[in-house]
Copies of this chain bind each other. A is one copy, B any other.
Amino acid sequence: MLTVFGSTALDTIRTPARTLQDALGGAAVYAGISASFFVDAGLVAVVGGDFPRRHRRTLAEYLDLRGLSTGNGRTFRYDGKYDETLSTRRTLKTELNVLEGFRPVVPEEYRDSRFVYLANNDPVQNVSILEQFDRVKFSMCDTIDFWISTKREAVRKMIRSVDAVVINDEEAKLLTKEHNLVRCAKKMMKWGATYVIIKKGEHGSLMFYDDVIFHSPGFSLGDVVDPTGAGDSFAGAMIGKLAAGGSASLSSVKKAVVQGNVMGSFAVEGYGLSRLLRLKKRDIAARMRAYEKMARF
């Protein structure tokens, strides 16, 4: 199975066309639901007493929730606003609430997970939770500018501890202090990452392994309505696909990266989680075929 550890949030998302209030969100939610199309996935996360029952029911349709605990206090909240191009998001408010002081515990039933995804959490927490698993075959982490700015050394240590890092292009530059993505990746590999996957939003992704570089363009869409969660959906689909196959070979990782790009392209087609929640496996298969057509020459 796959275990996903990370934030479960109530999101307020403001786009020029529409505002979503207290929508179900969080990096681990997008990643977990995305992964669940490929493999059984368990969620390690915390919510507050105010977490709506309907959101819990939604999560339960996709994920094993034995790792979801309810803390004293309110659920983690995020509030962000996109500009009219939908390419830049400004954070209006972040309330950590129950996330503050959360000490994640991996349930007994998840401890033999061979695949583990650590979302953009506190890097210290990500490293320590990894130690609660017994026989991890492939672990992957994400990170964000907040941790890079406040806990850079811990981020580096986390990178040493996992098999793969998945990270945005801008955050890769911030972390490594390089302008060029090849150099960014080489530095992270020098720090100990076996695989580095740099997400480039609509431009797709670059995967680095040893001296191999693999390009996977984004799936072009004429109607993007809300980019929230696209990167998390990418990562979730990627590790979900890997976990489903049970292999972490280079060729498996390449195919998983393509799957990630395809899944990220669905996420942006609806507000919040809505498109993922309407998604059928046949939609994914059809878009994979369309994607291959787009990229073959």
Contacts and interface: CB of A to CB of B under 8 A. Distances in A.
Nearest to A201: B203
Nearest to A208: B220
A251 B295 CA distance: 12
B182 A84 contact: no
A186 B294 contact: no
B220 A215 contact: yes
A142 to B, nearest CB: 21
B215 A294 contact: yes
Contacts of A254: 297
Nearest to A202: B181
Nearest to A251: B297
Contact of A213 (B186, B216, B294): B294
Contact of A181 (B86, B179, B220, B258): B220
Contacts of A218: 215
A111 interface: no
B217 A215 contact: yes
B222 A186 contact: yes
A14 to B, nearest CB: 17
Interface string A221-238: 111100000000000000
A116 B203 CA distance: 30
B182 A220 contact: yes
Interface in A252-297: 254-255, 257-258, 293-295, 297
A226 to B, nearest CB: 13
A85 interface: yes
Contact of A221 (B182, B212, B251): B182
A21 interface: no
Contacts of A212: 293
Contact of A180 (B204, B224, B257, B258): B224
Interface string A176-218: 0001111100100000000000001011101000001111111
Contacts of A215: 204, 217-218, 220, 294-295
A214 B297 contact: yes
Given A180-B223, A182-B221, A203-B204, 5 more contacts: A180-B222, A182-B222, A204-B217, A206-B220, A255-B297
18 contacts: A84-B179, A85-B179, A87-B179, A180-B223, A181-B202, A181-B220, A186-B222, A200-B203, A203-B203, A213-B294, A214-B294, A215-B218, A215-B220, A215-B295, A217-B217, A251-B297, A255-B297, A258-B297
